[in-house]
Amino acid sequence: MARISSKSVLHKKISKELVRRVHKVLKNSYAPYSKITVGAALYCANGNIYTGCNVENGSYSLTMCAERIALYKALSEGEKSFFLLLLYSPEIKSILPCGACLQVLNEFAPEIVIVTMNQEKEFHFYPLKTLLTKPFKYSV
C-alpha cells in the first residue's frame, strides 16, 4: 500500500504513481495458462493505493483476477471508499474487468470509475454503471 495525499498532489502526479504501481505489480502476475498478465491499482478516496495482479490456477475457476485482489486487499485493511481502478495488460489493447469482477466491484464500489491503459499510455474511462447495467442484487 502507498499513500498519496489527494489535496497536495496534482492529478498528473497521481496518474504517474498509479501507472508506476501497475507496472511494478504486473511483474508478480502468475499467468502460465492464459499467458495474459494483468495489473491493477485501486485508488481510494483517502489517497491510499492498493495493487493486485492476476494469479491463475490449474483449476481455472480458482483463478483470481487483479481487480479483486486489489479490492480485497483494500477491504481487508478497512478501506470503504474507492475512487478509481486502473487496469493494464500488455497482451490486450484495452482490458476490461470480467463479469465476476464487475459484480464484486458493484457491491463495494458502485460509483467507481474503471480506467484502462494501453502500451502507449492512452487511457479510457468507464463508470462501473456503464459496464454493468443490471447487477445482481440480493433481496429477501
Q: Kindly report which listed range (37-51, 57-71, 126-140) carries the lowest average pLDDT score.
A: 126-140
Query: CA neighbours within 13 Å on the CB side: how many for 26?
Result: 20
pLDDT tens track for 69-80: 999 999 999 999
List the catalytic residues.
Answer: 67
Task: Specify the pTM.
Answer: 0.88
SS3 107: helix
**3-state secondary structure (DSSP) of residue 66:** helix
Structural domains in the chain, sorted by start? 2-131 (3.40.140.10)
